[in-house]
Amino acid sequence: MEYSKKIYIFDTTLRDGEQTPGCSMNAQEKLTMARQLDRLGVDIIEAGFPVSNANDFEAVSLISQAVKSRTVAALCRAVRGDIDSALNALKKAQHPLIHIFIATSDLHMRYKLRMEPEEVLNSIFDSISYAKKYAPMVQFSCEDASRSDLDFLCRAAETAIEAGADIINFADTVGYAMPEDLRRIIHALKGRVNGIENVRLGFHCHNDLGMAVANSLACIEAGVDQIDCTVNGIGERAGNASLEEIVMSLNTRPDHFLVHTDINIGQIYRTSSMLSRIIGMSIPPNKPVVGANAFKHESGIHQHGVMANRQTYEIMTPESIGMKRDPLVFGKHSGSHAFYQRVSELGYDLPEQMLQQLFEDFKALAEKKHEVTDFDIEAMIENKTNTRRYYNLDRFVINSGNTIRSTSIIRLKDEFGQIFEDVATGDGPIFASYEAIGRILGISLALEDYSIRSVSEGGDALGEVSVRVKAGKRTVMGRGLSTDILESSIDAYLNAINKLITLGAVPRPRKNENNDT
């Protein structure tokens, strides 16, 4: 076999990806994703921007404690305060990485940073040499590199290397570059920057013109060692380069690229669906690699070809990315042992008590739903594990019809076991229920988005509702899952409220000492 160079995968789903409106994750959700990114085999997990908010700080700390076999990165501006905060958050990491960035284009330096180019160079040197005193690995990124003056970019890179950076990275921050531009930049950097052969060279592409994956692949052809990307390509505006598309391009065409990654491609589908469920953003059916239609053959000619030999119309197989043609099915007769084993095979390591609760939920679901698939089980687990349940739905009764205003009676149980009930009317059963919850809790929230989708197949499929809810300045996603879409709608709203309570945007329940319920 010909020589195959390793490409490092720097995953920024939990930082650049999560920065996207509607893609925010709480610290527990980020931890769930980080564990999956670990199974997927990314080299670096960028877990957050600790100085920017308490949730990111907590997420970086939790992930540093839990994920020992991967490098965990935290983002910082080129200032000491940011680095101190990142070092604190990374304290427990086995392999910490401080990721420092600053813009190098004239436009950004003049209008955003309001700094002279020499001041930018000084900040690069000062911040990297400071970080290097305390962290074993430092990555430096030039923001808006593709629109930077090439001479200045070379000086910035050289300054970073002199200061001790281990990885230097260049961002096509606004997705402006074409593959040829990036080849030219990489060629210039490699030819002109002293010491560049001793550091890892990375690139970070955005998708504003739909070029992020093509550009990342061009960078690999031009000789970079590391690529920044996100699962499902989530990220600012039109997103970042999609991890699964880059990895599967390299995997499908090793003859062309002569490189490999350490990604366990059998985990790709699972990672993609887990993220989609956690952030409540569905995957377009025609999305390469992981879309629902990526391996479907509709036309007669194609079906005929595939039946004769799958390779006629499939350049990769769904099995290779972990998309099972026939997912394993459980039913109401499945026992707890088989269920626990399946949960463990799916990669979850849950405490005994949680497993027992899940098994109860599974039994209840299997009563309603003929067949329970892996996707149902995963959806149940994520629904249960990620958010503290300050309030749970105890029961609801709804009266609705096309000629009457809907009425909903909602009964909630708080974490102390106290019961609260109220009734409200509204335009439709869901609004009536949300009104009743608002009355119980004495709050008024803005429902910014509501969507529903089926997570599994068949008439008895689980309906997953995602809502985006705002309280003051905080916006969160909530998810609910049930075979009854009214129940999943109420659960989704409560899930969002429980998150808002964690963030302090909605008051916590209080134990009433005079109440014995």
- Residues in touch with ligand KIV (CB under 6 A): 16, 101, 141, 143, 171, 173, 204, 206
* CB-based closest residue to ligand KIV: 171
Nearer to ligand KIV by C-beta: 206 or 287?
206
Residue 138 has what DSSP assignment?
Answer: E
Q: How far is the CB of 15 from Zn ion (least distance, A)?
A: 9
Nearer to ligand KIV by C-beta: 46 or 382?
46
Q: Helices 268-279 and 374-385 meet at what angle, rounded to 10? A: 50
Nearer to Zn ion by C-beta: 209 or 409?
209
* CB-based closest residue to Zn ion: 16
User: What is d(CA 83, CA 127) in angstroms, rounded to the nearest whole number?
Assistant: 8
Of 7, 9, 16, 29, the one binding Zn ion by CB under 5 A? 16
Q: How far is the CB of 99 from ligand KIV (least distance, A)?
A: 7
144 belongs to the binding site for Zn ion (CB under 5 A): no
Taking CB within 5 to 8 Å according to partner kind, which of Zn ion, ligand KIV, none is near residue 141?
ligand KIV
Interacting span for Zn ion (CB under 5 A) from 8-16, 50-58, 102-110, 271-279: 8-16
Q: How far is the CB of 324 from ligand KIV (least distance, A)?
A: 34
Report the candidate in 1, 38, 468 with the shortest Cα–Cα distance to residue 262: 38
Interacting span for Zn ion (CB under 5 A) from 13-21, 57-65, 76-84, 366-374: 13-21
Residue count (the chain): 517
User: For 213-217, which contacts have Cβ atoms below 8 Å and span 24 or more sequence positions?
Assistant: 213/241, 213/242, 213/245, 213/246, 213/249, 214/179, 215/172, 215/177, 215/178, 215/179, 215/182, 215/241, 216/241, 216/246, 217/179, 217/246, 217/249, 217/250, 217/257
Count the helices and strands in the chain (H runs, E runs). Answer: 17, 18
| DSSP letters for 343-386 | HHHTT----HHHHHHHHHHHHHHHHHSS-EEHHHHHHHHHHHHS
Nearer to ligand KIV by C-beta: 52 or 336?
52
**Is 486 in contact with 497 (CB distance < 8 Å)?**
no
Q: How far is the CB of 170 from ligand KIV (least distance, A)?
A: 9
Taking CB within 5 to 8 Å according to partner kind, which of ligand KIV, Zn ion, none is near residue 90?
none
Taking CB within 5 to 8 Å according to partner kind, which of Zn ion, ligand KIV, none is near residue 265?
none
User: What is d(CA 189, CA 304) in angstroms, rounded to the nearest whole number?
Assistant: 50
Q: Left, alpha or beta for 22 (phi > 0: left; psi -120 to 50: alpha)?
A: left
Nearer to ligand KIV by C-beta: 16 or 414?
16
Q: How far is the CB of 143 from ligand KIV (least distance, A)?
A: 4
Nearer to ligand KIV by C-beta: 10 or 339?
10
Q: How far is the CB of 171 from ligand KIV (least distance, A)?
A: 3
Q: How far is the CB of 99 from Zn ion (least distance, A)?
A: 11
Collapsing DSSP to helix, strand or coil, 7 comes out as coil
By CB under 5 A, name the binding residues for Zn ion.
Answer: 16
